[in-house]
Amino acid sequence: MKTREELDNLGQKILNECRTELYLSMRFMGVALNSLDYRMDLSTRRVGTDAAFIRFNPNYLSQLYLERPEKLNRTYMHLLMHCLFRHMFSAKAHEDIELWDLSCDIAAESVVDSMDYPCIWQVTSDFRQEWYDKLKQDLKVLTAEKIYHYFITKKRDPYLEEALRQEFALCDHSFWERMPEEPPEDKGQDQPEMENPNPQLPNEQEQENDPENSKDVYLDKPQDFEEKKKEWEEHSKRIQTDLETFSKEAAKDSGFLLHFLALENRKRTSYKEFLKKFSVIREETKIDMDSFDYNFYMYGLSMYGNMPLIEENEYRESKKIEELVIAIDTSASCQRGLVQEFLNETGAIFGNQENFFDKINIHIIECDNQVQNDIRITKLEDLKQYAEHFAVKGGYGTDFRPVFSYVEELRRKGILTNLKGLMYFTDGIGTYPKNATSYDTAFVFWTEEEFREEDVPDWAIKLYL
């Protein structure tokens, strides 16, 4: 019978063989391949990762290595996909953990299936291909978030979901559940250290130094969790850059990997915070409790000697949104559901009076290859009513230029007098204007939509929500 040390060495040797074979085929994956150490863990019957270690059962590895070595290579690559797309770091943010696990496995396998390397290649089953085709009919890209949303909005079938798990699951996700949920908080720093209530049990420092204790290899500390998450974000960006530059030839065989990394690494922006960019400073009629009228103050001192009169100012300077243009792409390529979601989000933000002056001048322009409708909003409550009764008009091709011509006409007529910005919600597919605007222009894209980013003018802001 083999000892624990011999089993550990056997498992590590097998994983090292896999890593070497993968590296020789995909050198651009070197930074990811070198980021996971190995730990034997008999709590799992297969193999899994917590983004810091590959946790393995040596019996499973040795059997798989002898019977199907290409599947072991594929499992290794499957684990790397989870890490590069940071699936484990957002697991607890999803209510249905089992469904999130399934969605992550489908997303990871869809990328691996698209890669053209003999060391990980396998024949795609009819059942698997059927579901790829079915999902792509409703989803443009098979990210874990989109797949999860697809299933959560459908009528659930536990037998079907189990069949999908049998098809797509290659690793143990139980290690994800042991990861912390929130970033570190500074609390309890001034409290004295607690004495060990049971001197017969080892204290925390002794446990960390015990090689037989597996707790130290989990990301159980929030600081480690955040650091590891940032580390994999950097690895993901580095591989993306490598595929776009030095490894362009290798990118041809990497399938959807580059495209998925580009989507994952896009900088997301808070819509609410971005709207503040279009704010202006002016006085509004509102008592300012932080200031007072100096005339009354000086009058009190001169009249009564040591009795200043304090009278709050009835006006105060505020930085809020006063004038804004929101253009909505109603062309055939822009999904109505996304437009409705954008309007609902906009209405929710506009419902906060603190972000806007009492008198506003907001134009919502519906357009495809021409301006179809212009709705002027002067009261915040009108936007909510508009969002509830929104109906698509047009549905032809997209040309962004007519909107900008129309806005210039409104400015010449004096209808728009203090325009700070224009937001154009679109799927990104269309003809862009060449000339820069004198006000800020932002093209607002839904994160996973597919379009040519290089077509967007350099002077415009690209906003991914």
Alpha carbon distance 322, 312 (integer Å): 25
Using alpha carbons, select from 48, 150, 59 the residue that is nearest to residue 106. 150
pLDDT at res. 335: 60
* Assigned CATH topology for domain 271-281+321-464: Rossmann fold (3.40.50)
Mean pLDDT, consecutive 10-residue stretches, the chain (465 aa), reads 85 94 92 93 92 93 91 95 92 89 95 92 92 88 90 89 94 84 48 45 42 48 77 92 83 84 75 69 55 65 73 58 82 64 67 61 84 81 66 64 92 88 84 89 72 78 78
Distances (CA, A) of 63 to 21, 89, 174, 356, 430: 18, 30, 22, 65, 54
Question: Strand pairing of 356-367 and 312-329?
Answer: parallel
pLDDT at res. 429: 80
Beta bridge partners of 325: 363, 422
3-state secondary structure string across the chain: CCCHHHHHHHHHHHHHHHHHHHHHHCHHHHHHHCCCEEEECCCCCCEEECCCEEEECHHHHHHHHHHCHHHHHHHHHHHHHHHHCCHHHHHHHCCCHHHHHHHHHHHHHHHHHHCCCHHHCCCCCHHHHHHHHHHHHHCCCCCHHHHHHHHHCCCCCHHHHHHHHHHHCCCECHHHHHCCCCCCCCCCCCCCCCCCCCCCCCCHHHHHCCCCCHHHHCCCCHHHHHHHHHHHHHHHHHHHHHHHCCCHHHHCCCCCHHHHHHHHCCCECCHHHHHHHHCEEEEEEEEEEEEECHHHHHHHHHHHCCCCCCCEEEEEEEEEEEEEEEEEECCCCCCHHHHHHHHHHHHHHHCCHHHEEEEEEEEEEEECCCEEEEEEECCHHHHHHHHHCCCCCCCCCCECHHHHHHHHHHHHCCCCCCCCEEEEECCCCCECCCCCCCCEEEEEECCCCCCCHHHCCCCCEEEEC
Alpha carbon distance 43, 218 (integer Å): 13
pLDDT at res. 331: 72
Place of tokens 């839904």: 446
Alpha carbon distance 61, 57 (integer Å): 6
Domain borders along the chain are 4-184+221-264, 271-281+321-464
For the full predicted model, state whether its pTM sits above 0.75.
no
Distances (CA, A) of 258 to 103, 124, 135, 364, 423: 20, 21, 20, 36, 29
pLDDT at res. 19: 94
pLDDT at res. 316: 53
pLDDT at res. 372: 86
Phi, psi of 281 (to 5 degrees): -105, 125
Structure tokens at 142: 């098979």
